[in-house]
Amino acid sequence: MKQEEEKYFEQNKKLWNDRTAIHVKSDFYNNAEFLAGKNSLNKIELEELGDIKGKSILHLQCHFGQDTLSFARMGADVTGVDFSDDAIKIAGDMNEQLGLSAKFINCNIYDLKEHLDKKFDIVFTSYGTIGWLPDLNKWADIVQHFLKPGGFFYIVEFHPFVWMFDDEFKGIEYPYFNTEEPITIHTTSTYGDTSAKIEGVEYGWNHSLSDVLNSLKTNGLNTEYIHEFPYSSYNIFPDMYQEADGYWRMKKFGEKIPVMFSIKALK
């Protein structure tokens, strides 16, 4: 890994360690309800993944493991990976507390080949993950490496269109296309608890839909579908309202803009 990238990852890791301590206690993640039995996965991914009982799943960038452990509760043989050592420790503790058999690995996913020797039926990632990665070709190579022949990759993620806006969604501030230099943001809070104070710098990269699709294709994965959604599974953008279907829309846009996308790709 290039020296500059190492600096970016180390700073982001520190930030995510700080966020983890807040997130695990937050109303957003509602960990008490999760530990009591609530499935943390959303309707979109549950419907699109189908029956995962008995399947082996690799969960990339799993944070402190709620979705990973939800897969385990559903009968999957699941391994979660994240670069935050604080998040992985909490995930491991919850796995033991719940009596589940999920496995967790603490590493940068770019280094995963050095830490794991196994193939999976499904590789999964979701919601706010790829924007922390500078190189999607390296990411897609990791995906294909750990997939069994006939297996599939699934991602549900926030649409790159929404990452162009400033924090208040008043105008375009960031590029749609990936740039060599990271987007540098001085942050003072976290989506998990906007009242909490976290002073730090985060480094991120925007990726167009063509970047995502072409990186998968280049690495031997064939797209079965791409879906785009005009709503969010989470209340994380300004002035959102929730409809009867459970999804969140922005009052300013309604259903005029794409907010999320999902892709299923086959090996």
Q: In whole angstroms, what is the distance from residue 50 CA to residue 67 CA?
A: 15
Residue 258 Cα distances to 161, 185, 221, 228, 254, angstroms? 7, 23, 24, 6, 10
Q: Are 122 and 56 in contact (CB under 8 A)?
A: yes
Confidence band for 4, pLDDT divided at 50, 70 and 90:
confident
Question: Residue 202 — pLDDT band, cuts 50, 70, 90?
Answer: very high
Rg (CA), the chain: 18
Map tokens 């501030």 to a residue: 173
Distance CA 71, CA 67 (A): 6
**pLDDT, tens digit, 9 for 90 and up, residues 148-176:** 999 999 999 999 999 999 999 999 999 99
Question: How many CB atoms are closer than 10 A to CB 167?
Answer: 9
Can you read off the two tokens belonging to residue 72? Answer: 């385990």
Residue 6 banded pLDDT, cuts 50, 70, 90: very high
Domains of the chain, first to last: 3-266 (3.40.50.150)
**Is pLDDT at 1 greater than 70 in this prediction?**
no
pLDDT in tens, 39-91: 999 999 999 999 999 999 999 999 999 999 999 999 999 999 999 999 999 99
Indicate if the pLDDT at residue 259 is higher than 70.
Answer: yes
